[in-house]
Amino acid sequence: MQLFASQLRPGQQTTRSLRASQYKRPHRRRRDEHSDESPDEPPEEVAGDAAPSTPSSSRVPSNAKIQEGIAGLEPAVYAADVTSRSDAVGGKSEKSGLRRSHLDVLTTVMHRCLLEGHYDRASRAWGLILRSQVPGGKHIDPRNHGRWGIGAELLLRHKSRTNSNEHEHEHESNHDDEEPYSREAFDLARNYYERFIVQYNHLRTLPNAVDSRVFYPALFSVWIRDILDQSEQARKRYRKEHQHRSSSLVDSDDDSTAPSKEARDREAAIQAEELSSARQLCEKLDSEMKAPPYDKLPGLLCLRANVGLWISDLLLSSDEAEEEDDNNDNHSFESASRKPKRYARSLRELETSLGYFKRAEENGAGNLSAAKSAVEVKMKSLAKQMARFDG
């Protein structure tokens, strides 16, 4: 039955007869003599003719390899229950295991507080996480695993002591009118991203690092949200004031056109303030995109294109508000002279947006045909309206 067995050395031969094994003298091994198998190992089984050419490896992957594998999935999955010494990734000492366990507990507490809306407690847990040390004596890097976004979200939900006390007393009565984000919170979030941009500036030697290329789009997104939130809060305040005054003047015989004119004036002022803030943001964005590598970032290019569309819409909407106001005034001639200029500026913004969409598509932003076609339709419609002024 040994026709297909591999050639074995005498020390590895396992097919001796019973009589030979009884009369064979025990062989004392020398200390410097090495053997391929230990004396306690069972006899090696001989492979048959159906066996593979190379023996299969039965080595079980370590916990560190498993955790690295699941961390590379999309979306990533991270181990949250690493508590023993043998499970610690990157080290097997008891101290590193305790540090890992402490970090996991803080992470669980922070996410639980976020789910329940306890943002102050989540902020304290986040601060403890940043001050914690991973195995190796290093502090937590907030750029890893997208942790930097958690800090910005916590800052956006930050409330000062005075606002928090007022919020506790008026939570039930003014639940619908409360502001989701305060001006102070937006300023904190913007300063947070600006510090990250300075601290983690782009380096050519680290092309795959999480640096200012990631934080610039987030910074301008928070800035845009701040501008839109200011306009929305201004409209809410005016509606609240108008409802209060209308309830107190129900029986009065005032002119009905006064409230509508006041509403148009207030809306025009809000749009003018929003347009001014949008232009400031656009100037800052253009100045940052002059130098590489930001001039070829798809995220910033798409963002700049959308900002151009936003400014174009604001120019047209402010012109419509003035047109409605001029129907009741005697300044229609002055408004007619300003309208072609506004339309021309709006058309230039659309052309700029179309150019940025094309650049973003060339630099790997994906298929933007729908966005480009929508801009082209707006440009054709606006060109037709401008042709009426020339005619």
Query: Which phi and psi (to 5°) does residue 290 adopt?
Result: -75, -30
What global pTM score does this model have?
A: 0.69
Burial string for 23-40 (b: 16+ CB within 10 Å, else e) reads: eeeeeeeeeeeeeeeeee
User: Measuring CA to CA, how many Å separate 191 from each of 36, 186, 194?
Assistant: 65, 9, 5
Q: Which two tokens stand for residue 150?
A: 């958690």
Query: 3-state class of 227 per DSSP?
Result: helix
pLDDT 10s digit of each residue in the chain, 391 long?
444 444 445 454 455 544 455 555 555 656 555 544 455 555 555 555 555 555 555 676 777 778 778 777 776 665 555 444 444 444 455 667 788 888 889 999 999 999 999 999 999 999 999 998 876 778 888 998 888 999 999 999 987 655 555 555 444 445 445 567 888 999 999 999 999 999 999 998 998 899 999 999 999 999 999 999 999 999 999 888 878 777 766 555 555 555 678 888 888 899 999 999 999 999 999 999 998 999 999 999 999 999 999 999 999 987 665 655 555 555 555 556 778 888 999 999 999 999 999 999 999 999 999 999 999 999 999 999 888 877 6
Q: At what angle do helices 298-326 and 332-362 cross, to 10 degrees?
A: 170
Structural contact between residues 83 and 97, judged by C-beta atoms closer than 8 angstroms: yes
Residues 6+ apart with CB under 8 A from 340: 386, 389
In whole angstroms, give the CA distance from residue 224 to residue 190: 11
In whole angstroms, give the CA distance from residue 211 to residue 201: 6
| Residue 82 DSSP class | -
CA-based R_g, the chain, Å: 35
User: Measuring CA to CA, how many Å separate 383 from each of 278, 312, 344, 389?
Assistant: 24, 13, 9, 10
In whole angstroms, give the CA distance from residue 224 to residue 159: 20
- pLDDT of amino acid 44: 54
Which residue type, as a one-letter code, is found at position 158? H
Q: At what angle do helices 147-156 and 119-131 cross, to 10 degrees?
A: 140
Alpha helical stretches, state H, the chain:
18-23, 63-71, 94-116, 119-131, 147-156, 161-169, 183-199, 212-248, 257-288, 298-326, 332-362, 369-390
Domain boundaries, the chain: 64-140
Burial string for 332-370 (b: 16+ CB within 10 Å, else e) reads: eeebeeebeebbeebbebbebbbebbebbbeeebeebee
Q: Which two tokens stand for residue 310?
A: 């936003």
Query: 3-state class of 260 per DSSP?
Result: helix
Q: Which two tokens stand for residue 258?
A: 């006064």
In whole angstroms, give the CA distance from residue 214 to residue 221: 12
